[in-house]
Amino acid sequence: MYGMKILLTNDDGYRARGLAELVEMMKPFGELTVVAPKYHQSGMSMAVTMGLKPIAVKRLPDRDGVRWWYVDATPSSCVKYGLDEVFTDGLPDVVVCGVNHGSNAASASMYSATVGAAREGALAGVLSIAVSLDDFSPDADFSGVRKLFPDIFRKLTENPVADKSIFYNINFPKGEARGIRIGSQGTVHWLKEFRPYDYDVFARLGITPLDMGILCMPEKEKDETVYVMAGDLTDDLRNPADADHRQLEAGFVTLCPLQLDATAYAEKARLETLF
């Protein structure tokens, strides 16, 4: 399906390499518009910038026919801005969020602002896709995504789902993929998540605090302890074999369909017998 109007965003910020890679992959499919966060917004889920907080927006110069904006807000807010203020003549055909630096499989999808932005698109009734690569490096190798994602995108858009509340969470393994698997959302959790803040971690990783959306480094006040969240990932033994994070660890691209409705229907039926 070609000639589409496509809205692109991410949660790593408008200067991230993953977003630039996504733009190049999507160019053959139609007219592209980028509305992305000014700064890194990882872990914001579907949060929106509310509470009368001012939101700075800038129209950037077009690049090779692609329209660019940044919004100093969350990815979901970026999608809202794009739908409300940019696509004033009608909704885009599809929203694509990514390519995120780092996996958003399993329970991480509930925290992910990449997936949250796709959920925002689905809430507006637009076919929406979140794309992530299991590599946090700013210089990650996206060749596997370039090789496989355009065909995945083509199949999803040429065979659209009737239920507009469904959206897609796609995760690519680091390195060459063994194939593509349709998965269910896995369950994992993190232990010992609060670690003492390391002020030298940015220099060791070759990045700056601004790359991670940190506008100023924290200064400890008297009696304060400064932490960073970086826990130990723990699998849930009750996960099915097709859990997306397990397939990702096995070297497969995972395609997981998600939906807006989070109702526990079995429990709903049980409660109806009690009340």
Query: Model confidence at 113, in pLDDT bands (50, 70, 90)?
Result: very high
Cα separation, 149 vs 22, in Å, equals 9
Cα separation, 20 vs 26, in Å, equals 10
State pTM to two decimals.
0.92
Mean pLDDT of the chain: 93
Cα separation, 33 vs 69, in Å, equals 8
Residue of higher predicted confidence among 232 and 106: 106
Q: What does the pLDDT read at residue 228?
A: 79
Q: Per-residue pLDDT tens for 148-158? A: 999 999 999 99
Q: Per-residue pLDDT tens for 202-212? A: 777 677 777 77
Secondary structure class of 237 (helix, strand, coil)? coil
Note whether 46 and 116 are within 8 A (CB): yes
Identify the H or E element spanning 8: strand 4-9
Does residue 218 have a pLDDT over 90? no
Residues 119, 58, 31, 10: what is their CA dihedral angle, to the nearest 10 degrees?
-30
CB-based burial of residue 257 (10 Å sphere; 0-12 exposed, 13-18 middle, 19+ buried)?
middle
Q: What does the pLDDT read at residue 222?
A: 82
Which residues make Cβ contacts (< 8 Å) with residue 188, sequence separation at least 6? 106, 107, 108, 233, 234, 235, 236, 245
Q: Per-residue pLDDT tens for 19-62? A: 999 999 999 999 999 999 999 999 999 999 888 999 999 999 99
Nearest to 5 by CA among 39, 26, 30, 23: 30
Where along the chain do its domains lie? 4-183+240-262, 194-230
Which residues in 38-89 belong to E strands, given as ranges? 57-63, 66-71
Domain 4-183+240-262 indexed as CATH 3.40.1210.10: yes
Alpha helices per DSSP H over 164-243: 201-205
Query: Model confidence at 1, in pLDDT bands (50, 70, 90)?
Result: low
Does residue 174 have a pLDDT over 70? yes
Cα separation, 152 vs 39, in Å, equals 29
